[in-house]
């Protein structure tokens, strides 16, 4: 799993300032689990909100998509011997937000594959805080796309 996790993390198409995956704890054909800590110096905390920073919902969705959809998608692609010159892009989400996430908090994201067919991956995802409370949950889907010529 360590080799697979490292390989998957190395394939992620995000730069350091937009990578919301610290570690992958579990990865198999049915789902993924990973963590991320929202460091206090992340630039969006300056303005969201002034004097009372909170992690933007769009960043929470992105974190769930990176861990629960993209990492799982790369794992599935690798294990189905599909063309390796592809990536995964989020196509839809329906997320319920239940609790705020503040600077410095660590979260755990768990995804469960709903289906992977016709180049589309759909997952049920949830994010929990250090107390085991559900922060947000819902469904995220993505589509396999061909990478641009490099």
pLDDT at position 148 over 80: no
The domain limits of the chain are 2-146
* 101 has pLDDT over 80: yes
Count of CB atoms within 10 A of residue 100's CB?
15
What own/partner pairs with CB < 8 Å and gap ≥ 24 does 39-47 have?
39/103, 39/104, 40/103, 40/104, 42/103, 43/17, 45/103
Please say if the pLDDT value at position 1 is more than 70.
no
List residues with catalytic annotation: 48
Task: Identify the pLDDT of residue 2.
Answer: 63
Judge whether residue 150 has pLDDT over 50: no
Averaged pLDDT of the chain: 91
Q: Is 21 exposed, middle or buried (0-12, 13-18, 19+ CB in 10 A)?
A: buried
Per-residue pLDDT, 145: 83
Task: Choose among 33, 59, 47: nearest CA to 113.
Answer: 33
Superfamily of domain 2-146: Hotdog Thioesterase (3.10.129.10)
- Residue 149 pLDDT > 50: no
CA distance 101 to 77: 32
Tell me: the pLDDT tens digits for 85-98? 777 889 999 999 99
Quick one: which of 83, 71, 141 has its CA closest to 109?
A: 71
If you count them, how many residues does the chain have?
Answer: 150
In this structure, how many other beta carbons lie within 10 angstroms of the beta carbon of residue 110?
21
Please name the residues in contact with 57: beta carbons below 8 A apart, sequence gap of 6 or more: 95, 97, 136
């Amino acid at each position: 799993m360590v080799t697979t996790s490292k390989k998957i993390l190395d394939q992620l198409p995000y730069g350091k300032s937009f990578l919301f995956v610290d570690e992958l704890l579990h990865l198999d054909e049915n789902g993924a689990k990973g963590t991320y800590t929202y460091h206090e110096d992340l630039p969006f905390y300056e303005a969201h909100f002034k004097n009372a920073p909170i992690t933007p919902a769009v960043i929470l969705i992105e974190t769930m998509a990176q861990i629960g959809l993209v990492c799982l998608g790369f794992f599935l692609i690798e294990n189905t011997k599909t063309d390796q010159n592809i990536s995964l892009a989020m196509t839809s989400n329906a997320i319920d937000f239940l609790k705020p996430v503040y600077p410095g908090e660590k979260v755990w994201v768990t995804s469960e594959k709903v289906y992977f067919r016709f180049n589309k991956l759909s997952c049920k995802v949830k994010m929990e805080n250090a107390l085991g409370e559900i922060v947000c949950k819902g469904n995220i889907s993505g589509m396999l796309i061909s990478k641009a010529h490099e």
